[in-house]
Amino acid sequence: LEKWYDIITEKTVADAILDRLLNASHKITLKGYGNNLIM
């Protein structure tokens, strides 16, 4: 997300796309190492 406005330079369009993506997303946190991930 740090470079979002570098990729899409039109701020209004970038905000609208990001809003749609974040509104429909789910945040998960992964813990552990390698193949031993615990959710």
pTM, 2 dp: 0.53
Note the pLDDT of residue 25: 83
Q: Do residues 17 and 5 touch, judged by C-beta distance below 8 A?
A: no
Note the pLDDT of residue 21: 86
Note the pLDDT of residue 10: 93
Note the pLDDT of residue 37: 57
pLDDT digits 0-9 by tens, 1-39: 678 889 999 999 999 998 998 888 888 877 766 666 555
Q: Do residues 27 and 18 touch, judged by C-beta distance below 8 A?
A: no
Residue ranges per structural domain of the chain: 1-39
